[in-house]
Amino acid sequence: MRATFALRSAARTPLIRFLGRRSVPQSVDHTPRPHPASPSGILPDSFAAYRIKAQQHGPLGRASFSQGIGRSSGASLGPIQPKQGEFFDRDELPSRFHRLPWSEAEIEAIETGGASLCA
């Protein structure tokens, strides 16, 4: 218990040292500016105007939700067909790309956690 007491009573010295005194700038310009990598280089008029034009996983504006997205079934949106060369499932590919069936030895090894391979 003495070691804990000795550690608590020791003065803590930080391992990092700063050069000079702390100085707070007298004037900082907090006016909003567009980001340097902004494609337009201008700020939006308001946040509401920004949300109307912004896209993130679909339109963000309230008007887009009232047009029927989420209010109708997926079947009413029409059929979805893959493009040429695209497939939705591995079973639609040629047979060389199909899943291989499990062998009895593999099933036994999985069920026993690999213990059947050592026995």
User: DSSP for 53-78?
Assistant: H-BSSSB-SHHHHTTTTTTS-SGGG-
Residue 108 contacts residue 116 (beta carbons within 8 Å): yes
* Encoded amino acid at 66, one letter: S
Residues of the chain with pLDDT under 50: 64-65
pTM of the entire predicted model: 0.28
First to last CA, the chain: 53
Please tell me the predicted confidence (pLDDT) of residue 103. 93
Please tell me the predicted confidence (pLDDT) of residue 102. 93
* Encoded amino acid at 83, one letter: K
As a whole number, the mean pLDDT across the chain is 79
Residue 42 contacts by C-beta under 8 Å, 6 or more apart in sequence?
34
